[in-house]
Each structure stands twice: as C-alpha cells, then as structure tokens.
Amino acid sequence: SLTDTPLETHKLPAEFLYGYATAAYQIEGSPAAAGRAPSIWDTFTHPDPKSGIKHTIDGLSGDVATDSFNLWKDDIALLKSYGANAYRFSLSWTRIIDFKNPPGEDGLEKINEEGVKHYRAIIEELVREGITPCVTLYHWDLPQVLHDRYGGWLDRKIVNDYVHYAKVCFNAFGDLVKHWITINEPWVISVLGYGQGVFAPGRSSNRNKSPEGNTSTEPFIVGHNIILAHAYAVKWFRENVAHTQGGAIGITLDTSFYMPYNDDPENVRAAQRAFASRLGWFADPIYKGQYPASLKEMLGTRLPELSPEDATVVKGSSDFFGLNTYTSNLVQDGGAEELYGKVKTGFTRPDGSHLGKQAHVSWIQIYPPGFRQLLNYVWKTYGKPVYVTENGFAAKSDALLSLPEVVHDADRVEYFRGYSNALLEAVVLDGVPVKSYFAWSLLDNFEWADGYTTRFGVTYVEYATQARHPKDSARFLKQWFEAHIAN
C-alpha cells in the first residue's frame, strides 16, 4: 500500500501547478496609469471627503502598493527564481474597460486598449518563462462608475457588465490563458463589503457613524448577483471559447476548516451551519443547483430565490473548486451573527490548549491537519478537482523585526512545511485530486483594511525603496516543490 513507503518519496503529478498569488489592487499602484478609472477600493481607501473617516489601519491606500504596474518584470523574475511554474494574479476591470468615457448605446463601455496591452505583455512574458498564467477576473475592485450608476453588485444589471468585461478578457488573452477564476471570495465581498462594512464599498447598517445600507438583506442580494455574474460568464465561455481555445474556468471560495468544539450535538450542528454559511451559500448553488436548506430556513424570504432558469445556468458552472484557506476553527453553538451561521468560532480547545501557533493577525493559527481534512471535505462534498488558489501566513516577525533579520521568517516556514505536507497527504494518502497550490503571497503587499501593517509575502518589500528581499519561506517552498513534483 501507499503507506509502506515514506510519504516524502511520493510525488505530485508533473502537471501540478505550484506558484504564488497576488491581486491587482494589492500590488499594482499607478491608479491612473494606462487609462485606469477608480474602483470602489480607490474610493474606500481615501478619507471620506465629508466625514474624514479612514478605512485602513494606517490610513494608506493602494496608490503605490508594491508598484507592480511598473515592476512586473521584477515580479516575474522573482517567480522564476522561486521555481514557480504558475502565477495567479488578477486583472483590474477599470484598466481593461474604459470607464473614463461614457458607455455606448448598448450601455456598455468600450475596451481600453492600453490596459489590454499592459496585461498582454505580462501574460506573454509569463508564458515565455514557462510560468502558467492563472487569471482572476475579479478580486474586489468593482468599477466605481457601476457602483454609482445602479449600486454595483446590489443590482442584477451587474451581470451584463461583468459578462461584457469577461468576454473582453477571454477574447484578448484566451489564446494564452487556460486557467480562469471568475470571482475571488464571494463571501468576503458580500459580508465584509455589505454586511459589516469593513471592506469596500463599506455598507453596513450596524455602524455607529453614518450607517448605510441594510445588513440583513444586502449581503444576500450581492451574493446572489455574484453567483449569477459568475455563472453567465462561464456560460458564455463554454459556448464561445472552451471548444476552440480550451481552458478551465471556475470560481474561488474561501473557508476555514470548521470542527465542532466537542461532541455536543449542538456544536456538531453548529460546525455544519458554519460551513453552510461560509461555503455552502455559494458552493451549493454552483455545484449542486440550490442554496443550502439551513440557509433558506434561517433567512426566509431574505435569501433571493434561484429561479429555475437561472438554476440551470448556475448548476455545474465551475470546472473546479477554487479554494482559499488559511486556518481552522473550533465551532460552538450560539452567537447572534447570522452572516456566520449563528456560531461562535475560536482556536481554544476545551482543555485550554490552542490549535497552533498564532499569526500576526487574529484570525490565523497554524493547524495543518485541518487543511488535509478540508481538502477531503471539499472533494467529498462537491466532487470537483481542487485548485488551492491561496494559502499563507502573516508571521509576527514580519511586523516586529527589520532588515536583515526580518527575512528569517521561521514561523512562516513552519506554516508552509505543515500545509504542504498536509496537501501531499491529502493527494497521496487520501486520493484527493488537488491540482494547484498558490501561496499567498509573492510579495508583502497592500493588505486591505490592514493597510501595510500586515505582511503575507515570501518576499519582504521595503516600501520606501520597493526593494524586494526573499524570505526563508521562499527558499523553503522552492525546495519543497522541487522535491515533490514529479519530472
């Protein structure tokens, strides 16, 4: 049997994709270059003109970030030096579509050729270097114009605009790009953007100052429109691109692994509810054709109905399961927050011990067994090959130390050692078809509401000079994947 030989002698298949993930707003900077117009994240990260409220911890925005709009060749050189055979990055919708000029008679904006040219150069360079481009169409940077025009994700009109944008990208890059991710983390967009208001566009009825929106309804309307936008883009792709140019397309969802706090049946059910609210909300319609029963029960008419016509487009609309995951949680019944399934989550076991080492951020502890179990859960529940599209760690040392010591990120190395071995176990011992591993992230970068105070990179970025310094974790992953991908 497989277990007769040591695990480290087993290999991932030669076509396994190993690389790093980034997102446009987190790395590019140059918000006005090549004809780019503002997205909701540009608006959100600049102090509100009326109230002066700032939405990032350090008050900073993605205006500069890692300057990757200019330094993208250096980024690709880093990928190459790290032995990556794939790169997951996102396109900026407002650089590809021309939102600086009014729409045409069909209500749709024209292509911004300058923006297309920019990304075309990046994609060509990646291919030349033997690095497979995996393109995310939407990583949270909604065109501000569409938000202003009809409320963006709050209106079904967004489906038409999103499909238009997706078509432009398929047509412009589909000869070279064979891996497409429609949308990154719908739960985060819906809940943090329209429920808690801590991410753009910052809508929440639970805020003390200037409450806006409706936390009990908007997240579910937004979630619904995201599912439809994804599904109708995939429908177009399959009817027009898949059979000529080929390629796989799917969505990326995010979740922790949820474990009951103890054997108490209430807590066992709570863990199931946590999965239903975080993952099932999106995964059940997309892979099974309907919303989870527990969600319908909890939300009643506040959960939009999936019409039979839409359901046929939504069901089966992802070729793979794109998974972003960072940690595991112990789940208890209770908690009022329905956006989390009315559960309490934590890291502390009944005996007082912790799941693992704490990250610089509150929401991550190192717990590799949960990663292996999650890969099994996703495969068993949804039956699609799994692309791990993000996994990573914010080490405390990144925030505490400075150069030159800061590149010795022992905690991140520990994290990646545990998680890469857990992935190998899931593939080799459990038979889960995992096709990729993208570590988050290639570089320290703009970490949304955390600004630049949290660093996830395997490369330390000196923001004053934009100098890049490889951390020990980059070397670790290079060696690990060199040793574990078959030739």
Q: Which residues in this chain contact ligand GBH in the complex, by CB under 6 A?
A: 23, 26, 184-185, 188, 192, 254, 324, 362-363, 390, 440, 447, 456
* CB closest to ligand GBH, residue no: 363
Give which of 123, 240, 114 is closest to 171, Cα–Cα: 240
Distances (CA, A) of 449 to 55, 193, 198, 289: 6, 11, 7, 34
Is the CB of 23 or the CB of 299 nearer to ligand GBH? 23
Is the CB of 22 or the CB of 30 nearer to ligand GBH? 22
Let me know: does 175 contact 168? Beta carbons within 8 Å: no
The CB-of-229 to ligand GBH minimum distance in angstroms stands at: 18
Let me know: does 226 contact 183? Beta carbons within 8 Å: yes
Is the CB of 133 or the CB of 174 nearer to ligand GBH? 133
The CB-of-362 to ligand GBH minimum distance in angstroms stands at: 6
The CB-of-83 to ligand GBH minimum distance in angstroms stands at: 22
Is the CB of 90 or the CB of 112 nearer to ligand GBH? 90
The CB-of-322 to ligand GBH minimum distance in angstroms stands at: 11
The CB-of-157 to ligand GBH minimum distance in angstroms stands at: 25
The type of residue at 37 is A
Is the CB of 150 or the CB of 363 nearer to ligand GBH? 363
The owner of tokens 């999965």 is 275
Active-site residue list: 390
The CB-of-5 to ligand GBH minimum distance in angstroms stands at: 36
The owner of tokens 């078809």 is 433
Using only the alpha carbons of the chain, give its radius of gyration: 21
- The residues, any chain, with a CB within 8 Å of residue 481's CB and separated by 6 or more, are 12, 18, 83, 420, 437
Is the CB of 440 or the CB of 480 nearer to ligand GBH? 440
Cis peptide before 441 (omega within 30 of 0): yes
Is the CB of 36 or the CB of 360 nearer to ligand GBH? 360
Give which of 207, 343, 227, 228 is closest to 275, Cα–Cα: 343
The CB-of-268 to ligand GBH minimum distance in angstroms stands at: 24
What element of type H or E holds 259? strand 257-260
Helices within 281-409 (DSSP H only): 281-283, 293-299, 308-314, 368-382, 396-400
Let me know: does 202 contact 322? Beta carbons within 8 Å: no
Crossing angle of helices 113-128 and 68-81, in 10° steps, is: 10
Give which of 33, 42, 23, 31 is closest to 145, Cα–Cα: 42
Q: What distance in Å separates the CA atoms of residue 218 and residue 155, rounded to the nearest whole number?
A: 10
